[in-house]
Structure 1
Amino acid sequence: MPTIRFAGMASGLDTEAMVKEMMNARREPVNRLIRQKQSLEWKREAYREMNTLLLDLRTSVDSLRFSGNFNKKVAVSENDNVASTKVVGTPKMSSYAVEVRQLAKAEMPAAVSLTVDRTIKDSKLPIGGEDFTLTVNGKDISVSGETDSIDSIISKIRIETGGAVQASFVDGKLLLSSAKIADAQGNDMTIDQFSVSVTGDGSKLGLQDGASVNSSVRVPGQESVVIINGVEYKSSTNKVTFDGVEFTLKQENIGSPLMVNNEVDEDAIFKTISDFVNKYNEIIAKINEKISEPRYRTYHPLLDSEKEAMPDKTVEKWEETAKSGLLLRDATLTNGLNEMRRAMSTALSGSGVNAAFDTLAEIGITGPPNGKYAYQENGKLYIDETKLRSAIRNNGADVTKLFTNFSSSTDPATKYKESGIADRLYSELTKVINKVTNEAGSTTSTSTYDDSYLGKRIKETSDSIDVWEKRLKDIEDRYYKQFAKMETLMSKAQSQSSWFAQMLGQ
């Protein structure tokens, strides 16, 4: 419980104010520690923000390490009006001769439409009216107006006809249509036509007593037939999949086969590379900005008492300025960026490498154009779209090797030169991410302290603050005891003076 003090009763002094002033002077060492702790926490936060960016870039680079991402194909038909194509798997053939001999046609079932009484809105409620018998394809179905709903009538139709006739309730109409079932031998069969009649008052279904309605006649469907590279394929639809390519058949071309060629998907590969370059530029720009921020050393972290004396917007602006430059010229990040640039610019070497395509520059990815302010780009990459697309189209294997080449060498220097750019960059990113993690802890950590360098310093500073707070509490208590003793002596002196005054007065 807080201590209750009655100070200054004998001396008339504002003891509380005097002790507070003396303690303010005493608190300066602990205030320095509190500011130091806040600076360390801000620095850890800034490091973790940079690590989040680096992790994001590494995820983007990871997809470039594997040749599968460069082996994307697109199937090109010489006549999309006859058969269009789409790659849905991994084609092994380079081309196909396609002859469409027959298009698939959908079956048109035998069907009847009955107009349901307009008062029936809910298919789950009884239809009302008198009982009647509905006969569908020679099967009698008893309908009770008191208990049967549209849904139950639909169920009875399906059960009584053995599934040969199906029904549905759509837009106020009961639609009956033929459906495919299996015969006694297990073969598919569909009735070609059926009749619907009623005995009794079937007006709830739009039928009068004794009325009979014949369905339309079923129009059978047919399979599609296509010859691909001399082999016949059939399908119930106009889509046929062969060798990882989906063929959509649109028109017969009997006797005039068309060619379909599997080509490099230039657009997809270009997008994969350009997305990586854009991500790389975005992230190194943010890191360069962070390590170049000016440092304002006169702006220190604010104490709680200082924040209380300022407007909120002023506090926000102050702290924003105080955080600036915490990673100015940071060695870990600066060296990491340098190594990333080296990984991107070092020429690929090794067996099977085409010397004409062993650097990013040779496929159209370069640094900033030469000029007075080129140095200010800080490693930003530029894409020559025409040159890159040409390299993908005409030298796709060399482009793939440039990014994905694998080296089995045990010599670090040789392995570095023989590794694809994506693998090199991934490795360098991993190194700098680990260094930043050692400095500031994991980006996913939720604990106040950890085993990182900054985590340990924050804990040490926090422990020192606790020691100082206890020490200051002891000093404050000593001040109050000293003032209390002074008050006691003065009170005694005042009592003695009063006694002498009384004696002299007598």
Structure 2
Amino acid sequence: MISPIRFGGMASGLDTEKIVKDLMNVERQPLNKLKKKKIMEEWKRDSYREMNSLLLEFQKSLDNLRFGFNLNKKKVISDSETAVAVKMNGQPSLSNYTIKVTQLAQPATPASAQFSVDSTTVPNSTTQIGSDFTIEINSSSLGSPVSISVSSTDTIDSVIKKINSSGSGVKATYFNNKLVMTKEDGTTFDVTVTSGDASKLGMGNSGTTTASSAGQPGTEGIVEINGVTHMVSGNTFTYDGIEFTIKQTTTNPISVSVKTDEDALFNTIKDFVQKYNELIDKVNAKITEKRYKGYEPLLDEEKEALPEKTAEKLDGMAKSGILQRDSILSDGLDALRHALTIPLQGADPAFDTLSEIGITGAPNSKYAYLDKGKLYIDEAKLRKALSENGDKVVQLFTQYSSSKNYNETGLAQRMYDELDKTIKLLTDKAGNTTLPVDDSVIGRSIDQINRDIDLWEDRLKGIEDRYWKKFTEMEKALSKYNSQSSWFLNMMGGQQ
């Protein structure tokens, strides 16, 4: 719609544009309040979503604690790593193994032929050979000899490619001015120069034949595991979820033990405490943030009238404390603390709380309240509990209750369930960015404010039009009055 062209003050001399603008500034106050209310609702929604993301991230991290298979990590230890090295490669079924090495495996040595390359004329792998020749590879495993043609523009690299792709079964490599050919199937072979001069590659002139050395067959290793003899094809092999690397023969059996990986379990618990403390720090900071009364969000036109830093500061003060004393977040933190303090029924009474494994609240002091529920680890006590009663420590976090009894549920699952409740309440309150439609409490509030803003925009347009209409009528009346006054004066002047 094209805006009407308005001319004001032509008869009255008034600045009609400014007068109407000032009048509309007063009329716009209800609309401005709606816009500021919308900004506050959006700030609150975004703050709730930020907290919800933190809770969800922490909840996901609890998977490392609430499932037993994540905590029952094992490690294998050899009494003699110099003789037999071991590492986990699955799930061993036993806790102890013995291994005696009678014989190490010896790899097979393939048949090979070695040629000394002329380093003065073929100094590197990219230099051209400089002569044409043909070689023939013959072996008892081949039906007929394989011929390979080499041109003067070939390099060592291109010659190797021709040999390797010839179908002869011979593979070539080049290192330190040596061209080495090997045959993996163990059969011997001959290399004959059938034409040309191949002396630059150490093969001689036409008619020269070089016979390969004989290969040596490999031998299997012999090991005795838990009293049973096994033949192994290599010196590294896997047995019952353990990878063994045998390095030397042994006179007596070597002991290999499977133990709980206490370091991994300790680090998992320590990581949980760290993440928990970070979470409650951030949530507590949000619900205790200072609220500055009397400060409201700035509209765009208000920001434009202020220096940028001043506008940012005022907006920051208006946003501060937006979730102060929020009941959803406060209750959620209380529920997490409760989940960690109630003893676990069905567990060993000596290991049914965190404090018994070395995890407590802040040390007693007059400033302890400032920590607001943070956890502290006595590392020596926790390591002792893991070393002597690791299974009971795991039970404290992972115990499953088929009846869903809260007191019989492991601490990690309790926290997970409490977080579920809080996350749902926050989602109902503020929605989240993954939902296609925001049907949350704040989402519906913002929708209603938007509708009210639209109504006020239409209403204000009508009010502005009425102001202009009144001023236009005034200008017309003044113009008519001025015209009549001029006519009257003219008439009076004519009579004189």
Letter in 1 for 2:458: K
Q: Alignment partner of 1:284: what SS? A: helix
Describe the superposition over 1:60-108 as per-residue Cα deviations: whole angstroms up to 9, x where unpaired.
Answer: 1122111112211111111111112111211110100111122233444
- Secondary structure of the 1:262 match is strand
Question: Structure 2 vs 1, CA of residues 174 and 475 (structure 1 numbering), >3 Å: closer, same or farther?
Answer: farther
2:172: which partner in 1?
167
Q: Which runs of 5+ in 2 are unaligned?
A: 140-144
Residue 438 (1) aligns with residue 440 (2): no
Please list every run of 5 or more consecutive structure 1 residues that lacks an aligned counterpart in the other structure.
181-188
The letter of the residue matching 2:183 is: A
Q: Distance in 1 between matches of 2:392 and 2:413?
A: 16
Question: In the TM superposition, what are the counterparts of 1:300-379 in structure 2 within 5 Å?
Answer: 300-350=296-346, 353-379=347-373
Distance in 2 between residues matched to 1:319 and 1:213, nearest whole Å: 89
Give yes or no for contact 1:137–1:161 (8 Å, CA) kept in 2.
no
* Residue aligning to 2:408: 418
Q: Hey, what's the Cα distance between the residues in 2 that align with 1:505 and 1:295?
A: 75
The two structures, once aligned, show a CA RMSD in angstroms of 2.5
CA contact (8 A) 1:136 1:196 kept: yes
Q: Distance between the aligned counterparts of 1:140 and 1:454, measured in 2?
A: 82
CA distance in 1, matches of 2:351, 2:124: 75
8 Å CA contact 2:129–2:156 kept in 1: the answer is: no
Contact 2:222 2:231 in 1 (8 A): yes
Inter-CA distance 115–299: structure 2 relative to 1 (3 Å threshold): farther
Aligned to 2:263: 267
Q: Which residue, 107, 115, 134 being the options, matches 2:117?
A: 115
2:249 and 2:407 map into 1 onto residues whose CA distance is 55
Query: C-alpha deviations, 1:189-211, integer Å up to 9, x for none?
Result: 31356445352133664655335
Instruction: Please state how far the C-alpha of 1:324 moved relative to its aligned partner.
Output: 1.0
Q: 1:489 is paired with a residue of what secondary structure?
A: helix
Looking at structure 1, the residues matched to 89 and 312 of structure 2 have their Cα atoms a distance apart, in angstroms, of 54
Equivalent residue letter for 1:405: Q
Counterparts of 1:207-218 in structure 2 under 5 Å? 207-210=203-206, 211-215=208-212, 218=215
Specify which of 381, 390, 406 is matched with residue 400 of structure 2.
406
**Distance in 1 of aligned mates of 2:90 and 2:193:** 52
Give the TM-score normalised by the residue count of structure 1.
Answer: 0.89
Q: 1:494 maps to which residue? A: 482
Residue 2 of structure 1 is matched in structure 2 by: 3
Partner Cα separation in structure 2 for residue 388 and residue 492 of structure 1: 98
Letter in 2 for 1:473: K
Distance 2:178 2:461 in 1: 88
Instruction: Spell out, residue by residue over 1:379-398, the C-alpha distance to the aligned partner (whole angstroms, 9 max, x if none).
Output: 10111111111111111221
Change (3 A) 1:38 1:132: same
Tell me the amino acid that sits aligned with residue 376 of structure 1.
L
Equivalent in 428, 443, 451 of residue 455 of structure 1: 443
Report the Cα distance in structure 1 between the residues aligned to 2:178 and 2:310, rounded to whole angstroms.
72
Structure 1 counterpart of 2:182: 178
CA contact (8 A) 1:33 1:465 kept: yes
The amino acid of 1:440's aligned partner reads: A
**Structure 2: distance between partners of 1:228 and 1:119:** 52
Decide whether aligned partners of structure 1 residues 436 and 222 sit closer, same or farther in structure 2, where only a CA change above 3 A counts. Answer: same
Cα distance in 1 for partners of 2:482, 2:122 equals 107
Output the amino acid matched with 1:387.
K
Question: Aligned equivalents of 2:361 and 2:449: distance in 1?
Answer: 45
TM-fit CA distance, 1:16: 0.5
Question: Is the 1:77–1:83 contact (alpha carbons within 8 Å) kept by the matching residues of 2?
Answer: yes
Shift of 1:444: 3.2
> Retained in 2: the 8 A contact 1:365–1:383?
yes
Cα distance in structure 1, aligned partners of 2:270 and 2:248: 38
Contact conserved, 2:337 with 2:373, CA < 8 A, in 1? yes
Amino acid at match of 1:356: A
2:284 to 285, 288, 298: 288
Query: What amino acid is aligned across from residue 487 of structure 1 in structure 2?
Result: E
What residue number does 1:185 align with?
Answer: none
- Please tell me the residue identity of whatever aligns with 1:378: K
Match of 1:28?
Answer: 29
Name the structure 2 match of 1:186: none
The residue aligned with 1:141 is 147
Tell me the TM-score normalised to structure 2 length: 0.91
Tell me if the contact between 1:198 and 1:207 (Cα under 8 Å) persists in the aligned partners. Answer: no
Asked if structure 1 preserves the Cα contact closer than 8 Å seen for 2:130 and 2:152, the reply is: yes
Q: Would the alpha carbon gap of residues 144 and 401 (structure 1) be closer, same or farther in structure 2, given more than 3 Å must change?
A: closer
Q: Does 1:297 align with 2:285?
A: no
Change (3 A) 1:319 1:220: farther
Report the counterpart of residue 485 of structure 1 in structure 2.
Answer: 473
Q: Distance in 2 between matches of 1:34 and 1:452?
A: 19
Work out whether residues 193 and 218 of structure 1, in 8 Å CA contact, stay in contact via their aligned partners in 2: no
Q: Which residue of 2 aligns with 1:246?
A: 243
Whether the aligned pair in 2 keeps the contact of 1:401 and 1:420 (CA below 8 Å) is: yes
Structure 2 distance, partners of 1:319, 1:178, is 78
Residue 238 of structure 2 aligns to which amino acid in structure 1? T
- C-alpha distance in 1, partners of 2:162/2:154? 10
1:232 counterpart = 2:229: yes
2:142 corresponds in structure 1 to none
Counterpart residue identity of residue 488, structure 1: K
SS in 2 for 1:105: coil
Aligned residues: 484
Alpha-carbon spacing, 1:157–1:128, altered in 2? closer, same or farther (3 Å): closer
Secondary structure, in 3 states, of the residue corresponding to 2:62? helix
Q: What is the alpha-carbon distance in structure 1 between the residues aligned to residue 489 and residue 175 of structure 2? A: 114
Question: Letter of the aligned partner of 2:244 in structure 1?
Answer: F
- Equivalent AA in structure 2 for residue 258 of structure 1: I
